[in-house]
Amino acid sequence: MIKYIFTIVLLATLSSFSQTNNSNLDYLYPSEGLEFKYHDDWGRDNYKKVINEFKKRPLQLNDIVFLGNSLTASGQNWSERLDHPNIKNRGIGGDVSDGVYARLEEVIYIKPKAVFLLIGINDIWNNGSPNIPSPEYIGVNIIKIARYIKIRSPESKVYVQTILPIREKKYKDVIKKVNQIIKSRKNTGFKVLDLYSVFVNKNGLITEDYTTDGIHLNEKGYIRWTNFIKPIIISLKD
């Protein structure tokens, strides 16, 4: 009898949560007027567009959240790729580390089972603009994102993926520096997944077999990424 009552209460709680998710939760999302210094023009417009799309399909309690930029977004259906029903894609093309930090409330609200973060290449790239933050700024920002999630949702597992290499040589050292900053932080409550090492060639650039344009991944690249993290996803299954 007690077990039956507990089941009814649990179902009622989950139902209530779902109804709340479908109500007005705009306060969980960045305001329309919020802008970030290191977004380029396209990234700024796309950010607002995709945030509005996210509002129409909110996250659910205990989802696994993939958080990042176009590399994550273009993976599309991560649930299908990784054979797990509760993975949600929160990638936004053109996004930067400041943009991700500003949209963490939606993620924290649902107490995610896990968060997989990959961000930083647009901070570095920014369409070749001279308006580029320092490696220290980017690295510290990424750590700040991971720590904030962990502080606000202590039971969530947080995985920070190192920035992938790209084709252009002039960004090679900056990417390595940011990744070194990420990997140097100990006892931070999050785990670092060295995705960079999976894609880098002997020259410190992205392996051409895995990319469409020197930055973005082709399907072979996504299969490579999926195979790298799949053991972790399997460990997260109930």
Provide the CB-side half-sphere exposure for 132 (13 A, CA): 16
pLDDT, tens digit, for every residue of 64-97?
A: 999 999 999 999 999 999 999 999 999 999 999 9
Beta bridge partners, 91, equal 68
pLDDT (average), residues 43-55: 96
Euclidean distance between CA atoms 47 and 70, whole angstroms: 11
Residue ranges in 153-214 assigned as alpha helix (H): 172-184, 196-199
Residue 11 has pLDDT above 80, yes or no: no
Burial class (CB in 10 A: 0-12, 13-18, 19+), 77: exposed
C-alpha to C-alpha distance for 128 and 136, rounded to whole angstroms: 19
Residue 206, pLDDT score: 98
Contacts 24+ apart (CB under 8 A), 173-177: 174/124, 174/135, 175/121, 175/124, 176/204, 177/135, 177/139
What's the pLDDT band for 12 if we cut at 50, 70, 90?
A: very low
pLDDT value at position 129? Answer: 62
Q: What is the residue-averaged pLDDT of the chain?
A: 90
Mean pLDDT on 192-216: 98
Answer whether residue 208 shows pLDDT above 60: yes
CATH for the 2-236 domain, from 3.40.50.2300, 3.30.310.220, 3.40.50.1110, 3.40.109.10: 3.40.50.1110
The predicted model scores a pTM of 0.89
- pLDDT bin (cut points 50, 70, 90) of residue 20 is very low
Residue 3: predicted pLDDT: 43
Contact indicator for 105, 29 with CB cutoff of 8 Å: yes
Mean pLDDT of 157-185: 96
For residue range 118-154, list pLDDT tens digits in order.
Answer: 999 999 987 556 678 999 999 999 999 999 999 999 9
